[in-house]
Copies of this chain bind each other. A is one copy, B any other.
Amino acid sequence: MENHIRYMEEALKEAKYAFDKGEVPIGAVVVCSNQIIARAHNLTETLNDPTAHAEMQAITAATSYLGGKYLNQCTLYVTLEPCCMCAGALFWSQLGGLVYGASDPKRGYYNLSEKLLHPKTKVITDVLSQKSEELINKFFKQKR
């Protein structure tokens, strides 16, 4: 659990970078053999690209680093429950482990179908979820 918290703190750092850019503050890191191999944060506004979620960029960066399409030996840490697009992408990557912070009952994958993830992906939820929620609430409060 100690490692999960440490890596989620790194994902939260990424979420804060997103916040500072006026993006919905969501961050992610990919860990392989106890090493962070990819870091990313939501850039949908900056890039005018609805696919530029933190997870999507983290997958692209991690597979590029590894030189292969699969992340079965990796764990993705993300501050918010992935949406269906990101869960679908994680499926294709055959992700080994998914650790997320806050749940997203409205747009998260789980409410639609847990089958969106690969059956081999081990999931851990609710890691530093309060910190993630606080940051997201602060963002939307500012926007109002």
Interfacial residues, chain A to chain B (CB-CB below 8 A): 44-45, 47-51, 56, 59-60, 63-64, 66-70, 83-89, 91-93, 112-113, 115-116
Contact of A48 among B47, B50, B63, B112 (CB under 8 A): B63
Q: How many copies does the complex hold?
A: 2
- Residue with the greatest number of chain B CB neighbours at <10 A, chosen from A69, A89, A116: A89
Residues of B contacting A48 with CB < 8 Å? 63-64, 66-69
User: Measured between alpha carbons, how far is A85 from B45 in the docked complex, in Å?
Assistant: 20
User: Which of A48, A68, A87, A91 has its CB near the most chain B CB atoms (within 10 A)?
Assistant: A48
Partner of A89 from the list B45, B70, B85 (CB cut-off 8 Å) is B85
